[in-house]
Every structure is written in structure tokens, then in C-alpha cells.
Amino acid sequence: MHRFYVHEWEWIGSEAIEIEVGNTPDIGKRQHLAGLASYIHKSVKIRDNEVRRSGQPEKLGFKSFDAMHTACSESGDADYFLTTDDKLAEREKEELNVRTANPLYWLTEVISNESRIYKSVSDTSDGN
């Protein structure tokens, strides 16, 4: 989360997230989620374009909110749509105009790639 806090990475949210957080019945969980959402750098509003775009994934079997989240991710030019819904994360990539991933798997891959890059730079500077 540190990289989001220091703006090394941009966290793109949406009005759909705001709605879902507001509808969370457990008050403690809602407050926790609202606290996390306060670090969102950019929020995509749901407009006609997002409503139209969300219709396509819905026709493919996406749940309404999932379709809206992906439409907002696309509108926000997100590199990844991160979701803990593994079924959604594994959907056929050609169905969407944004890459999907489970946040844990995505972060593990990022750290692994950074480790390889660091090792390569380190090996080069050591004369190997």
C-alpha cells in the first residue's frame, strides 16, 4: 500500500466503489473500506459511456456491479483491474479492454519481476 500512499502507483477508483462501500452492512467493515478508499487518487464517475460499456460484459454473464467496475476501469485507463473475485479475475481477457488480476497474485508478480530486475542490475554492476 505504501506505493499508493506515496503516489508511486496510481489508484483509480470509481463511483461504483463508493456505492458498494456505502452499501456494506457491517459498520466496522464499511469504515475500514472507506478509510482505504480515501487513498484513491482518481475516481471515475458513472456516466452514459460507462453504463453503455457495462452492458457488454453483462451480456457475457458478468454481474451488474462487476461489469460497471470493469467499465469504469477502462474509462479510467487503468493498467489493471484488481479484484479478489477469482472468477472475475480469470475471465477471458479478450472480453475486456483492461487486464484483470487478483491483487495478491499481481503484487507477487510485481515483486518477483522487480527482484529479477534488481538481481540483473546487481549482477551487471558486479561485473558478472
Q: Cell numbers 452499501 correspond to what residue?
A: 23
Task: Give the model's pLDDT for residue 24.
Answer: 96
* Residue owning grid cell 457475457: 60
Cα dihedral 102, 49, 65, 96 in deg (nearest 10): -40
Confirm if 100 and 91 have CB atoms less than 8 A apart. yes
Assigned C-alpha cell, 27: 459498520
Contact 99, 81 (CB under 8 A): yes
Query: What integer best gives the mean pLDDT of the chain?
Result: 86
- Does residue 97 sit within a domain? yes
> Does 73 map to a domain?
yes
Is residue 90 situated within a structural domain? yes
Instruction: Please indicate whether residue 72 or residue 110 has the higher confidence score (pLDDT).
Output: 72
Distance CA 95, CA 103 (A): 20
State pTM to two decimals.
0.79
- CATH number for the domain including 63? 3.40.50.1010
